[in-house]
A = this chain, B = another copy of it.
Amino acid sequence: MFSDSPHEECGVFGIYAPSEDVARITFFSLYALQHRGQESAGIAVSDGKTINTHKEMGLVSQIFDERSLRHLKGHIAIGHTRYSTTGSSQVINAQPFTMHTLLGPLAVGHNGNLTNAASLRRQLMERGVGLMTSSDSEVATMLLAGLEGNTWSQRIDAFTNCVEGAYCLTVLTRDALYAVRDPWGLRPLCLGRFGDAGWVVASESCAFDTIGAEFIREIDPGEVLQIDRDGPRTIAKHPAQQQAFCLFEYIYFSRPDSYLQGQLIHEVRMRLGHELAREAPAEADIVIGVPDSALPAALGFSQASGIPYGDGLIKNRYIGRTFIQPDQRLRQQGVALKLNPLPNVLNGKRVILIDDTIVRGTTSGPIIKLLRKAGATEVHMRVSAPPIRHPCFMGVDMATQPELIAFNKTEAEICETIGADSLAYLSMDGLIRATRRDANGFCGACFSGKYPFPIHEAGKEIFELTSI
């Protein structure tokens, strides 16, 4: 509740490590990837013969105990944390998806969104396949179970040829772990070394730090990596002509201590603040950020502008999911349930407020009201990303286009709506500069409307069988 942020969809992890307790290591890795999905989580383990799975709704810490780990014995594992973007919030949609196939047991963890899922569903159904869920991750698993090819590598190759969209897959079979990244490289995926004989893959490098693994490199766009007793080897590589890494991983999704494309996310976010200070300076006494994700950009803005950095808003660390509705009076309190301003810091000050994104615009106004109530004389809002004007079809839950405030209003109108003294967004150029990468390698479709490939199926609705 009380949130106006886009939602990342999932975190994936995989490990091949003979003679290690791979389920336990996967558990702690999922802990580190919990920020990428808090609705459900699961672990699947192969012992060379069969695959055991445990998955449930809830946080990683709630789902697993010693008893469930005891049943997850083996030497290869994949793990998944999930926030639903397509498919509803039910345990039947929890991943990994596990299936019996002609080539033996199969488990798949998927991060992303297949943009041609509706066509693929239809093809599957025309082939006589029933689908238990509305999830495109089941579609992905069922495709792997049924595509042509007598080996998993042939099938994975066939898979990459028929799907469109964003996907990082970890695929677990009896004897091997596969890591697959879509040709555009929309979502992150990296490879690490675990001990002498083990290998790990994860959405973000922070998982490696947690378990003491060593970061080796990113999986390349379009790469299929197979890891088995012979170690990791690239068995296919079909990059798109134009790569399209999601800019929001830099801006908001990834943990600040993760490395992406050789960049520490925290550092990039500080540079977003530098760029923003240069592009949209303001006379002010203090720079503050909306905790937690916008704090590095605020620190960067402070450094670049010379305006002192301060803590202006305190976040209640324990706000979790509650089913208690605030009454009328409490609703007016709004974001105050989550954020509290520090009057002594703010009183009489001209404040620069940094946030990393405005989606629907529902929280910025209340936050600015809080700051003024705490004594801020001016509030200059600076956003460390360009305005979001287009929906995402690649796996981010970002609101529908009509809900996007920047689709409906000009910057001046937004400024007025949220009650700021001034408002500025970071430019696309500034954003790219902060990443220190080539502009061509990114997907910024939510800002520009330029999608990395044509989106044919937007709005195709898939009816849903509900399990309750």
B51, B316, B323: which contacts A65 (Cβ < 8 A)?
B323
A428 interface residue, CB < 8 Å from B?
Answer: no
Number of copies: 4
Spot the interface stretch: A25-33, A243-251, A399-407.
A25-33
Inter-chain contacts of A193 with B (CB < 8 A): none
**CB closest residue in chain B, given A134:** B100
Shortest Cβ distance from A161 into chain B, in angstroms? 15
- Interface-central residue, A60, A321, A344, by most chain B CB under 10 Å: A344
Q: How many residues of A contact B (CB 8 A)?
A: 110
A162 interface residue, CB < 8 Å from B?
Answer: no
Shortest Cβ distance from A197 into chain B, in angstroms? 13
Interface SS of chain A: mixed
Spot the interface stretch: A123-131, A438-446, A449-457.
A123-131
Complex contact A318–B59 (CB within 8 A): yes
Inter-chain contacts of A49 with B (CB < 8 A): 463
A129 to B147, CA, bound (A): 9
Task: Tell me the residues in window 61-75 of chain A with beta carbons closer than 8 Å to chain B beta carbons.
Answer: 61-62, 64-66, 68-69, 71-72
Complex contact B330–A25 (CB within 8 A): yes
**CB closest residue in chain B, given A328:** B21
Complex contact B468–A21 (CB within 8 A): no
A6 interface residue, CB < 8 Å from B?
Answer: no
A72 to B468, CA, bound (A): 9
Inter-chain contacts of A53 with B (CB < 8 A): 465-468
- Interface 1/0 per residue, A73-107 and B, CB below 8 Å: 00000000000000000010000011111101111
Complex contact B21–A327 (CB within 8 A): yes
A256 to B299, CA, bound (A): 19
A267-B345, A344-B264 are contacts. A327–B466 as well, Cβ < 8 Å? no
Spot the interface stretch: A234-242, A272-280, A331-339, A408-416.
A331-339
Complex contact A323–B66 (CB within 8 A): yes
A359 interface residue, CB < 8 Å from B?
Answer: no
Complex contact B330–A211 (CB within 8 A): yes
Shortest Cβ distance from A95 into chain B, in angstroms? 12
A53-B465, A128-B129 given; name 17 further pairs at CB < 8 Å: A31-B316, A50-B463, A50-B465, A54-B468, A60-B318, A61-B321, A66-B323, A98-B467, A104-B463, A106-B130, A107-B465, A127-B146, A209-B336, A256-B342, A266-B314, A267-B342, A299-B311
Q: Can you list the 7 inter-chain pairs with the closest CB atoms, starting with the nearest?
A: A128-B146, A130-B145, A99-B130, A34-B318, A257-B314, A102-B125, A257-B340
